[in-house]
Structures are given as C-alpha cells and as structure tokens.
C-alpha cells in the first residue's frame, strides 16, 4: 500500500487531503484519485518520498506519493 497526499487547487476539488492506494504505477494511480478524472489527475506533478518522479516510476510498499497541481508565484 502507498499513501497518497494531494496538494494545490486539485485538493480543493478532490475534497480529500490523502488516501491509501494499492496502485503500483502512476497510470494505475491516476484512475483512483477521488473527485478527479483520469485526465485531470494526469496533469498533477508526482513526487515519491519527497523527490520529483517521472512517468515510469514504480511504487514500493510504504511509499509516500504526493500529487500536486502546478503552482505559480507569490
């Protein structure tokens, strides 16, 4: 199992801050994000255990995955 945390405006749409998943790849995970379509989830930036991840990443049991909307400036 992995723990998935959502940040950015996507989180306001998803309505949850985190959830658990058994997905092993990003492609599987995109289908499971609550409140978001697969297309919307695909446009979130993935980070695994604090590091930016590529599309081909494979999750390990216990990984913490962050999905984040692109941000901007302040």
Partner 1 sequence: MHMPTEYGGYMGRVLQINLSSRECKEYPFSDEERELFIGGKTMAAKILYDNLNGTEKAFSEENLLIISTGPLTGSGAPSSSRFNISTISPLTGYITSSNCGGNFGYYLKKAGLDALVLRGKSKTPVWIEIQNDKVEIHDAEELWGLRTSETQQALDEKLRLKNGRVRKNGKICIGPAGEHQVLYSCIVSNERVAGRGGAGAVMGWMNLKAVCAGGNREVKVADKERMVKHTQKWFRYLKKHPLTGNQLPRLGTPGLVSPMQMRQMLATKNYKHGTYDDFEKISGEVLAEKYNIVNKGCLSCPIKCARTVEIDGQKVKGPELETLVLLGSGFLNNDLEAILRWNHELDELGLDTISCANTIAYAMEANEKGIWKNGLSFSQVDGMPELFQKIAFREGIGDELAQGSKRLSEKYGGKEFANHVKGMELAAYEPRKAVGLGLGYAVSNRGGCHLNGGYLTILEGLGLAIDQTTYHGKGDLTMLFQDLMEMISATGQCLFTSYAFFPSPLLNHPNAWYTRAVNKVLPYCGCVVRIINKFPEIAFFHLPVFHHTKAFEYVTGMKMPFGKYVRCGERGYNLERELNRRFGVDSKKDVLPKRLVKELQDPKNPSSKVPLRKLKKVYYHARGWDRRGLPTERLLRRLKIKETAQD
Judged by the rule CB under 8 A, the positions of this chain that interact with partner 1 are 5, 7-9, 11-12, 17, 42-43, 45-47, 50, 52, 55, 66, 68-74
Q: How far is the CB of 21 from partner 1 (least distance, A)?
A: 19
Report H helices in the chain: 9-14, 26-30, 38-42
Residue with Cβ nearer partner 1 (21 or 69) = 69
Q: How far is the CB of 5 from partner 1 (least distance, A)?
A: 8
Residue with Cβ nearer partner 1 (32 or 68) = 68
8 Å CB contact between 35 and 14 = yes
Tracing tokens 């984040």 back to the chain, one arrives at: 68
d(CA 42, CA 24): 15
């Amino acid at each position: 199992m992995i723990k998935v945390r959502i940040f950015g405006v996507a989180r306001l749409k998803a309505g949850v801050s985190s959830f658990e998943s058994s997905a092993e790849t990003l492609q599987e995970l995109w289908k499971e994000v609550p409140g978001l379509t697969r297309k919307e989830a695909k446009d979130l930036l993935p980070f695994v255990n604090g590091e930016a991840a590529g599309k081909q990443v494979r999750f390990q049991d216990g990984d913490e995955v962050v999905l984040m909307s692109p941000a901007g400036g302040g």
